[in-house]
Amino acid sequence: MASGAYRNGVAKGSMKVERSAVAVNPSAKSSSGVKVKPAPSLTSGVRRSTTGLLGGSGKDDASVSGRVRVAVRLRPRNAEEMVADADFADCVELQPELKRLKLRKNNWDSDTFEFDEVLTEFASQKRVYEVVAKPVVESVLDGYNGTVMAYGQTGTGKTFTLGRLGEEDTADRGIMVRSMEDILADVSPESDSVFVSYSQLYMESIQDLLDPTNDNISIVEDPKTGDVSVPGATLVEIRDQQSFVELLRLGEAHRFAANTKLNTESSRSHAILMVHVKRSVRGKEELLSSENGNGSHMVKSFRPPLVRKGKLVVVDLAGSERIDKSGSEGHTLEEAKSINLSLSALGKCINALAENSPHVPVRDSKLTRLLRDSFGGTARTSLVVTIGPSPRHRGETTSTIMFGQRAMKVENMVKIKEEFDYKSLARKLDIQLDKLIAENERQQKTFQDQINRIASDAQNQISEAERNYSDALENERLQYERDYKETIKRLEVQWATNQRKRDDDKLIEPKKECLDMGLGTSSSEQIAELKQSLQKEISLRQAAEEQITTLRGEVVQWRRAEAVANTEVIKLRKKLEDEEKQKVKLEEEITILGSQLLRLSFEADETRRSLDRGDSGKILTGLDSLMSQVRHLQLKDSGNGQKASIAKLFEQVGLQKILSLLESEDAEVRIHAVKVVANLAAEEANQEKIVEAGGLTSLLMLLRGSEDEMIRRVAAGAIANLAMNESNQELIMGEGGISLLSMTAADAEDPQTLRMVAGAIANLCGNDKLQTKLRGEGGIKALLGMVRCGHPDVLAQVARGIANFAKCESRASSQGSKLGRSLLIDDGALPWIVQNANNEASPIRRHIELALCHLAQHEVNAKDMISGGALWELVRISRDCSREDIRTLAHRTLISSPTFQAELRRLRIEC
């Protein structure tokens, strides 16, 4: 069997000796004893960028400088060393409280080295993890790439430090196990995911430790981002800690190991554990709304969920060794040569990066290609170098320590990895769209049913009324007709009777001419009675005809009521038609929503392609900032070409509708609306329209009443953009804008919010008419209060505001205004100005130098500036400033001030 064998695999006749291990922590010092400046902490703000390459020298505003952190850990003496070195002192002396290590040359001389952390042989595995790997793991959970790597001579405890499973004693758990415990404890199983791959680099060939048949895996580099990956390796999703431990146990069983004189079970390959963490930024808010039947509302927000992707790489390097000491031969010798060559290539890359060499030999080894993001790239890297105490191996210990010292000089540009989850947004919008369509159809059906029911009821009532009145009219007509016929019949009978009597009287009249004349009187009375009866019948007939006329009038009225009811039915039908039109209009709006979603997807793609070329001159935020940068590039490239997306949205939706969304009860809608307003305010052509439409008042109300940090940040950015226009500055001051900005500055902690507020106040500081009022309402105090943040962008805005304020005071003094001591000095700004006059950041330094020059032009400030140390800074600026105009201004100010000239003569300094 060859000398290289599987670790924990086929029996080799000896067990691996448990060894103490080593750790890392950020706070490094150089070998010369001078403390190295610590890297700034990772910010939590959203930064979008592509992955940097190993050896890349480019820097941009979307990255944070982070030096490689290096710790050294001393392994305790093993049994062999206790016997062989019993008469010799250890070659290493540790001073952990000073983070210092002394390497003895002889009994009277030693070399001193300083590291970020120095861990003794008694350091626990928990402490090693907390000072070395935990900051890196936390960065990975925040969306950054991170690397933890162990380097050292074979047998010094690298595998113990990184890969110890701790099954017998949980206190012995290594960095791999403890890192996964923290990751699983922080992620959400519903919205987040954790995937792991475990491979080894053996004899310049990448092999999958989870699937030994998967051999010679290729390395793939993304041509756009430069990100390095091994897509051929087995990727396993991790849900619990036990499954991860099983995965490590399986991988260790397949890793190559061999028995050498320096280590009974020496690793013959570099083990690489990659942990891919994908997290949803808004967590549970990204889940789809619950299905509670409320599906009639419109889509609340078009903002896609934000997803952060972090990658943790844990590298257990094979131990460097000398052939004469390890006793390697045959296949083991070839393995040792391959290991030493790859480690040598890694050392060359680190040397080139430490010396800022224009060429970094990344492609000399597959190991350096895999680690190109860890050294000089975008990952936060912690390196633990392990050493032994034996004086026999002093040469190897020295080499390991010098490797760590050179690694401490490597600067990485740490960048966040995040993207928009458009698939989740599309699913969410599809569900909401389906709910809207279903709700609309249900409402339309309900409305149609109501219309049909009302029409049916009206028709039934009309039919019933017509039937009742028709029956009543017919009954009245028949009754009057019967009465009329009976009256006529009775009159006819009466008339016939009278006629017969009259005929009888005519026959007997000649015979009874002499009868009593009373008979004639009686006949006349009967005729009069008949006439009276006839007259009465005529009156009754007329009354019947009048009643018939009245009934006919009532029938006409009922027919008119029927016509009115028909009119109402027509109106209802017209209303139904209007509802149909509204339905069509709603469907058109739904189509527009879909097109806007597609446009947003297209704009996001355009944003990612043009992000590194964007204009950062104006204060923008979030997604709208990217869209505005795209618009800027399009206008720059195409002149009067196609309008950008925000302009199209402005034309289609209208300013009033956008401003009305600022008062929405839905926080997501308010956030989206205020971002659109902020982007519109970035263009000077839109500022007057926004102010006239009441947009400034709405933004100030948001700043006053909103508790949402993002809304306040974007609202402050929009106000800062509006404050660039002089006519708007007086309006902002008149509506209490400075007081609101000052309160926001006092309450906010987020650097981005403070940057927006400081930018707005800085713009207002440039108005000569508003200086007294601005200072009276706490503007200068608010600016100085924001320096507590310490963020370079915030300090740059504060310095710009102070420079603007000092320039206005200087201009007023030159115009003959009688001013007292500077308001900046009265409010205590001078110490901070002097302290930052030589700041490393050029924007801060340039503004502070201008502020000092303008303050010095007013003679009444001279004594305070001399006592505050500003005179020395003015002399330095007049001699060493990189900008000629500022250097000339400082020199002219010094020679024109009698007070300064007298002090310079007293100090015997020539200007």
| Binding site members | 152-159
Which residue from 818, 853, 681, 861 is spatially nearest to 759, judged by alpha carbons?
Answer: 681
| 3-state DSSP assignment of residue 411 | strand
Q: Are 143 and 418 in contact (CB under 8 A)?
A: yes
Distances from the Cα of 175 to the Cαs of 131, 132, 285, 309, 542, in angstroms?
Answer: 11, 9, 33, 21, 119
Contacts of 354 (CB under 8 A, 6+ apart): 406, 407, 409, 410
Annotated binding site for ATP: 152-159
Q: Are 254 and 8 in contact (CB under 8 A)?
A: no
Please give the structure tokens belonging to residue 520: 């004639």
Q: Which residues of 159-196 are buried (b: 16+ CB within 10 A; e: fewer)?
A: bbbbbbbeeeeeebbbbbbbbbebbbeebeeebbbbeb
Calpha distance 303→422 (Å, rounded)? 9
Please name the residue that has the structure tokens 């029911």: 453
Please give the structure tokens belonging to residue 154: 């074979």
- The DSSP secondary structure of 255-288, one letter per residue, reads SEEE--SS-TTEE-SEEEEEEEEEEETTGGGGSP
Beta strands in 811-863 (DSSP E): none
Please give the structure tokens belonging to residue 274: 């990659």
Distances from the Cα of 719 to the Cαs of 123, 622, 722, 734, 771, in angstroms?
Answer: 54, 16, 5, 14, 18
Question: What letter represents residue 715's amino acid?
Answer: A
Distances from the Cα of 740 to the Cαs of 459, 693, 731, 777, 778, in angstroms?
Answer: 64, 21, 13, 10, 10
- The DSSP secondary structure of 684-719, one letter per residue, reads HHHHHHHHHTTHHHHHHHHHHH---HHHHHHHHHHH
Calpha distance 646→631 (Å, rounded)? 8
Q: Are 296 and 439 in contact (CB under 8 A)?
A: yes
Q: Is 112 exposed, middle or buried (0-12, 13-18, 19+ CB in 10 A)?
A: middle
